Amino acid sequence: MWIVVDVEADGPAPGLYSMISFGAVIVEEGDARSFKGETAPITDAYIAEALAVSGLSRAEHEAFPPPEHAMKAFAAWVAPFGRPTFISDNPAFDWQFINYYFHRFTGKNPFGHSARRIGDLYAGLVRKVGAASEWKKLRRTTHTHDPVDDARGNVEALFAFAKQYDLKLPSN
């Protein structure tokens, strides 16, 4: 099972800064199943410009539920899928937050210790390293920084280039 995940955060590193929200969308045709979590800050530090990307104020972010609620609910949502594969536009960012929050608030990460980057998959298919961001033009859902919208757009792009290049995606 492939699950595309997107994270919004108020800074570049978990533990030093906080995850604001995250979205997950199953890589499946049609109206794919999705999950959204929102998390109150875990630190007092934040970068105003990073928080502004989410369209939220610090007070709005502080009003979100404690992170353990979202992470336990996400773990329960992921559980029926066994050991899913984490897919992301930028796993160097997204995975680190999800991994940290899973370990801190649930004790383990159901995705394990690895992730896949959409841009690398695309660059390999087109056999051009410099093409790693060209796949983004294949999104149908507008990139809004709502993490479910962004993950959904990434799933759409995956299916578009899989069809174009006859790539067999895992069947869920």
Q: Which of 61, 113, 143, 145 is catalytic?
A: 145
Beta carbons within 8 Å of 12's beta carbon, 6+ residues apart = 47, 50, 93
Whether residue 145 lies in the annotated active site: yes
- Among 20, 19, 25, smallest CA distance to 5 is for 25
CA–CA dist 90, 92 (Å, integer): 5
CA gap 116, 104 in Å, rounded: 22
What is d(CA 52, CA 49) in angstroms, rounded to the nearest whole number? 5
Number of continuous H segments (helices) and E segments (strands) in the chain: 6, 5
For 22-86, the three-class secondary structure string (H helix, E strand, C coil) is EEEEECCCCCCCEEEEECCCCCCCCCHHHHHHCCCCHHHHHCCCCHHHHHHHHHHHHHHHCCCEE
What residues are annotated to the active site?
Answer: 145
